[in-house]
Chains A and B, each alone.
Chain A
Amino acid sequence: MTNNPNKKERHFFLEKENKRIYCVEYIADPDRDNKQGIILCKPTWGERIRTHRIFTNLARMLREEGFNIISFDYFGDGNSGGDTLDLNFSGMVDDIVEVSKYLSSQHQVEFFSLIGLRIGANCAIKAEPKIKNLKRMILFEPISNPVEDLKVRLRANLSTQMAVHKKILKNRTVLIDEIKSGIPVNMDGFLIGKELWESFEQASPLEIESDFTGPVKIISLIEKNKKGKDFSKLAANYENGSSMVIEKEFIWTDWKYYIPNPPIFFKAVRSELHH
Chain B
Amino acid sequence: MLCKEECIEFENKDGLLLRGILHHGNEVEHKKVSLICLNTGLNDMVGWHRLQVKVARFLADNGYNVLRFDDVGIGDSDGELDEESIVNIFASIETGLFILNADAAIDFTKKKFPDGKLVHLGFCGGGLTAFHSAATKRDVAGVIDIGGPVTLSSAEYLDKKDPWEVKKQVEKYKSKLFDPHPWIRFFTGKGEYSNIFKSVTHYVKHKVKGEYKDSLALENWNVDECKNLNKKFFHSFELYSKSKRPALFYFAELDSATWEFKKYFLWKYQCSKIWSDSVCSFIEIKGANHIFSGTESQQRLKYDILGWLKQFSR
Q: Which residues of A contact B (CB under 8 A)?
A: 1-3, 11-13, 20, 22, 24, 45-46, 49-50, 52-53, 56, 77-79, 81, 83-84, 156, 160, 163-164, 166, 186, 188-191, 255-261
Complex alpha-carbon distance, A186 and B297, angstroms: 12
A189 with B48: CB separation less than 8 A: yes
**Total A-B contacts with CB atoms under 8 angstroms apart:** 97
What's the Cα separation between A186 and B293 when bound, in Å? 8
Evaluate contact between A56 and B76: CB separation under 8 angstroms: yes
Chain B positions within 8 Å of A77 at CB level: 50
Residues of B near A160 (CB, < 8 A) are: 289, 293-294
Q: Is B139 an interface residue (CB 8 A)?
A: no
Given contacts A49-B43, A79-B21, contact A256 B86 (CB under 8 A): yes
Q: Is the interface of A mostly helix, strand, loop or mixed?
A: mixed
User: Among the listed B46, B287, B291, B292, which residue makes an inter-chain contact with A79, where contact means beta carbons less than 8 Å apart?
Assistant: B46
Q: In the complex, which residues of chain B have a beta carbon less than 8 angstroms from the beta carbon of A261?
A: 80
Is the beta-carbon distance between A189 and B298 smaller than 8 angstroms?
A: yes
The answer for the CA separation of A256 and B89 in the assembled complex, in Å, is: 11
> In the complex, are the beta carbons of A52 and B44 less than 8 A apart?
yes
Q: A160-B293, A188-B49, A260-B73 are in contact. Are A13 and B5 (CB under 8 A)?
A: yes
Q: How far is the CB of B107 from chain A (nearest CB, A)?
A: 11
Min CB gap A262→B, angstroms: 11
B9 touches A79 (CB 8 A): no
Verify B49–A46 contact, CB threshold 8 A.
yes
The answer to whether A79 and B45 have CB atoms under 8 Å apart is yes
Q: Is B295 an interface residue (CB 8 A)?
A: yes
Contact across chains for A53 and B74 when beta carbons are under 8 A apart: yes
Bound-complex Cα distance A188 to B298 (A): 12
Complex Cα spacing A260 to B81, Å: 9
Taking A3-B7, A78-B50 as known contacts, 11 extra A-B pairs with beta carbons closer than 8 A to each other, sorted by chain A number, are A22-B7, A24-B76, A56-B75, A79-B53, A81-B2, A189-B292, A189-B294, A190-B49, A255-B41, A257-B85, A258-B83
Q: Identify the closest chain B residue to A10 (Cβ).
A: B7
Q: Which B residues, 1 to 57, have Cβ-Cβ distances below 8 Å to chain A?
A: 2, 5-10, 19, 21, 41-46, 48-51, 53-54
CA distance A186 to B296 in the complex (A): 10
With CB as the reference atom, state the residue of chain B lying closest to A80: B53
**B6 to chain A: which residues have CB within 8 Å?**
2
- Are the C-beta atoms of B53 and A189 separated by less than 8 Å? no
The answer to whether A189 touches B89, judged by C-beta atoms less than 8 angstroms apart, is: no
Interface string of B83-118 (1 = CB under 8 A from A): 111100100000000000000000010000000000
Residues of A within 8 A of B287 (CB): 164
Q: How far is the CB of A21 from chain B (nearest CB, A)?
A: 12
Please, which residues of chain B bring their CB within 8 A of the CB of A12?
Answer: 7
Could you jot down 27 A-B contacts, CB within 8 Å?
Answer: A1-B10, A1-B108, A2-B7, A11-B76, A13-B5, A22-B7, A24-B76, A50-B42, A53-B73, A53-B74, A56-B75, A56-B76, A78-B50, A79-B45, A79-B53, A81-B2, A160-B289, A189-B48, A190-B49, A255-B42, A255-B86, A256-B86, A257-B84, A258-B42, A258-B83, A258-B89, A260-B73
- Which A-chain residue is minimally distant from B108 (CB atoms)? A1
Check B220 for interface membership: any CB of A closer than 8 A.
no
Proximity bits, B293-305, A CB within 8 Å = 1, else 0: 1110010000000
B247 at the interface (CB under 8 A from A): no
CB-based nearest A residue for B172:
A166
Q: Does B257 contact A (CB under 8 A)?
A: no
The answer to whether residues A20 and B5 also contact, given A45-B49, A52-B75, A77-B50 and a CB cut-off of 8 A, is yes
**Which residues of A lie under 8 Å from residue B81 when comparing CB positions?**
258, 260
Query: Do B86 and A1 have beta carbons less than 8 Å apart?
Result: no
Q: Is the CB of B49 within 8 A of A163?
A: no
Contact residues of B between 193 and 225, Cβ < 8 Å to A: none
Chain A CB within 8 A of B254 CB: yes
A13 to B10, CA, bound (A): 18
Using Cβ atoms and an 8 Å threshold, which residues of chain B touch A52? 44, 75-76
Point out the residues of chain B lying under 8 angstroms from A22, CB to CB: 7, 21
